[in-house]
Amino acid sequence: MSNALIEELKWRGLIYQQTDEAGIEELLNKEQVTLYCGADPTADSLHIGHLLPFLTLRRFQEHGHRPIVLIGGGTGMIGDPSGKSEERTLQTEEQVQHNVEGISQQMHRLFEFGTDKGAVLVNNKDWLGQISLIDFLRDYGKHVGVNYMLGKDSIQTRLENGISYTEFTYTILQAIDFGHLNREFNCKVQVGGSDQWGNITSGIELMRRMYGQTEAYGLTIPLVVKADGKKFGKTEGGSVWLDPEKTSPYEFYQFWINTTDDDVIKFLKYFTFLGQDEIAKLEQSLEEAPHLREAQKALAENVTRFIHGQEALDDAIRISQALFSGDLKSLSADELRAGFKDVPHVTLSNDTTNLVEAIVETGISSSKRQAREDISNGAIYINGEREQDLKYELSDEDKIDGEFTILRRGKKKYFMVTYE
């Protein structure tokens, strides 16, 4: 008997591997299932590369199942070798704790905690921190064969360049997590990215050896790959973070709205809670009127609203429209900083006030002759206002927050000018 949730996940392209496809469907059909997904606190914020497993966990919650969100305050002290070609740098206990607090706050945006069917937030340091070295070796290590561990991709790929005993044991710690949650919360399914398959199956194997036949399953989600083969979730400026201090809601919105036509329908299925009919309409719009970018707008609006809320989305749209129309006066200094973060930054001497000299000194125009031509032709804008006076002198009034000026040449070429 098929299961509506599994059918939806398949339609969305969210299932990569399952330890027992028929067993998982049967389990979901017969009971409210407790399942978990974890993240190690390698930074004080998640980035969008972390989103998919947790959004998938949230889909289980929408269908009446109970998610456990695990933050690896214990495993984060060790470091997961999965998907890494070299050893991680160990973090201090203070760093890990700081990161745990940051990620915990973000999980409250992604999940509903504290209700009957609400999510449960746990930190594996609470139980891993209680296991002594002798207990670890006797109670857990005895059940895990070295040959079994050497067969794991996450270990095999590292053998050539070397792997410390610390990271070698990581998979056992994650296995202990699954066993602990199974015993304490009756947790029967672990969800993770495709790189977590080895760690998930280790957990099921450890439970089988320690407790005999245990009802436990694993489900992994595919790695998000863009149509051009490039890594998802990175921009030229680095990772796209969920923390609004690291990636402003405007930049976050821009990341999604700039999704290519080749990727947008896949990402709507992956990252939004829009249904099949709504996505089918957007797919039709993409085919018939791609210039309207309705699919991209729906993607950007839905994901930004889900992560940052309606107010932040409204601000992101307002900033985008103001920048598109050139209406810079309507934006605050912080909004301008966010909006022009990725444009060329140039410096100008405080002594240079003449506009012709200023745009030559900053490299905006190639020569004085070119600069005079650009100004006369109306191609130069100061903070969104066209300036055609060759004798114009820049003053403190042109400095936003007393710090910077936005100069534009032509229709799209923006520069952020700071002074020294």
Q: Is 157 a catalytic residue?
A: no
Find where tokens 């139980």 sit: 127
* Residue type at 386 in one-letter notation: R
Give the residue from 270, 298, 302 showing the smallest Cα distance to 284: 298
188 marked as binding residue: no
Q: Is 291 a catalytic residue?
A: no
Number of H helices, E strands in the chain: 19, 13
Q: Is 231 a catalytic residue?
A: yes
Q: b vs e for 44-62, b when ≥16 Cβ sit within 10 Å of the residue's Cβ?
A: bbbbbebbbbbbbbbbbbe
Q: What is the DSSP string of 160-221?
A: TT---HHHHTHHHHHHHHHHHHHHHH-EEEEEEEGGGHHHHHHHHHHHHHHHSS---EEEEE
Q: Which is the catalytic residue, given 42, 247, 296, 304?
A: 42
DSSP code, position 393: B
Q: Which is the catalytic residue, given 174, 214, 259, 296?
A: 174
Q: Which is the catalytic residue, given 108, 231, 369, 386?
A: 231
Q: Which is the catalytic residue, given 17, 19, 61, 88?
A: 88
Q: Is 88 a catalytic residue?
A: yes
- In sequence order, which ranges of 70-191 are alpha helices (DSSP H)? 93-110, 125-128, 133-135, 146-150, 153-159, 165-168, 170-185
Sheet holding 217-221, edge to edge: 17-18, 217-221, 187-193, 34-39, 66-71, 120-123
170 marked as binding residue: yes
Q: Which is the catalytic residue, given 12, 47, 66, 158?
A: 47
Q: Is 47 a catalytic residue?
A: yes
Q: Which is the catalytic residue, given 235, 321, 347, 418?
A: 235
Residue 226, Cβ neighbours under 10 Å: how many? 16
Q: Which is the catalytic residue, given 209, 234, 372, 399?
A: 234
Q: Which is the catalytic residue, given 50, 66, 305, 408?
A: 50
36 marked as binding residue: yes
Q: Is 308 a catalytic residue?
A: no
Q: Which is the catalytic residue, given 63, 84, 143, 297?
A: 84
DSSP code, position 142: G
Distance of CA 350 to the CA centre of its chain: 40
Q: How far apart are CA 393 and CA 357, in angstroms?
A: 10
Q: Is 56 a catalytic residue?
A: no
- Going by the annotation, the residues of the binding site for ATP are 234
- Going by the annotation, the residues of the binding site for L-tyrosine are 36, 170, 174
Tell me which residues are annotated as active site: 42, 47, 50, 84, 88, 174, 195, 231, 234-235
- Going by the annotation, the residues of the binding site are 36, 170, 174, 234
